[in-house]
Amino acid sequence: MSYQAHILIEALPYIRQFAGKTVVIKYGGHAMVDDLLKGQFAQDIVLMKYVGINPVIVHGGGPQINMTMERMGVKSTFVDGQRVTDDETMSVVEMVLVGTVNKEIVGLINRYGGRAVGLSGRDGDLIQAERMTVYRYSGDDRPPEILDIGRVGKVEHVNVAVLDALQRGGFIPVIAPVGVGPDGQAYNINADLVAGAVAGELKAEKLILLTDVTGVMKQVSETEKEMIPSLTVSQAQQALTDGTAKGGMIPKLKSCIKALEKGVSKAHVIDGRKEHAILLELFTDKGVGTEIVND
């Protein structure tokens, strides 16, 4: 059997298994800025749709926001990894995510033959949010300090009727992680957390998070790390507790855990720098990155 035929045959059971199912993909990192990878991402999404899988995309855009704020002379401040978002910053965040990044992704997918529709969490009250409270603990049994980080939100509710209507019409939803609060104001929300909440509410077959590392890593020596190929929910929670998960991996694992608890079958943290990473994860026996499964 030729190599090309082997690849197609290997993909067949996965195409059959996932046909008619929903897969939520968090699109971010290097895959969003490298022109080759951007085109391949769009091709992967279109192929998924043509073989009967329903992709839903939630995208980030931190580097694009940073560049725009620098050009405008607006300083970015971060607290515990969260961008402090005053009214001026929120205007920039919404302008970049909804007005620029979202439209570029939609245009790219449509160029490759898809039917993508761009959404903000404000459209149809899709992502209903509440203000996030950040606590800083100083030890010595002192009460925690409450930090004001502005209009940074967490997901309170996802209005899946909006997404259901688009999927029934054969469209591919592309969601910018901007939520709407009970006061009608926009809130800046971490895209990983939005993706996990959307996947959970849709009872998606899979949640796939693209990142710029090979997967969840563990330290095996002073100078070496290795990828953890698979984690259960309890192991993922332990990785959050013992410091195995650091920096941007923390919201990713939290997102995966929440999605699995809500009924998602499996979650994956994969290296978006690999060519056609999504197809490799979905349609090959080995897959790529770290999978997170229920205990």
| pTM of the predicted protein model | 0.92
Confidence of residue 295 (pLDDT cuts 50, 70, 90): confident
Contacts of 203 (CB under 8 A, 6+ apart): 22, 262, 263, 264
Lowest pLDDT segment from 99-113, 128-142, 239-253:
128-142
Confidence of residue 139 (pLDDT cuts 50, 70, 90): low
* 185-214: pLDDT as tens digits: 999 999 999 999 999 999 999 999 999 888
- Is residue 167's pLDDT more than 90? yes
* 254-283: pLDDT as tens digits: 999 999 999 999 999 999 999 999 999 999
The pLDDT, as a whole number, for residue 115 is 97
What is the rounded CA–CA span in Å between residue 104 and residue 41? 13
Contact predicate 263/203, CB 8 Å: yes
The pLDDT, as a whole number, for residue 99 is 93
Phi/psi at 178 (nearest 5 deg)?
A: -115, 120
* 76-96: pLDDT as tens digits: 888 766 788 989 899 999 999
- Among residues 111, 121, 133, 132, the alpha carbon closest in space to that of 41 is found at 111
What is the rounded CA–CA span in Å between residue 234 and residue 228? 14
Residue-range domains of the chain with CATH: 22-226+251-278 (3.40.1160.10)
Confidence of residue 242 (pLDDT cuts 50, 70, 90): confident
* 28-66: pLDDT as tens digits: 888 888 899 999 999 999 999 999 999 999 999 988 998
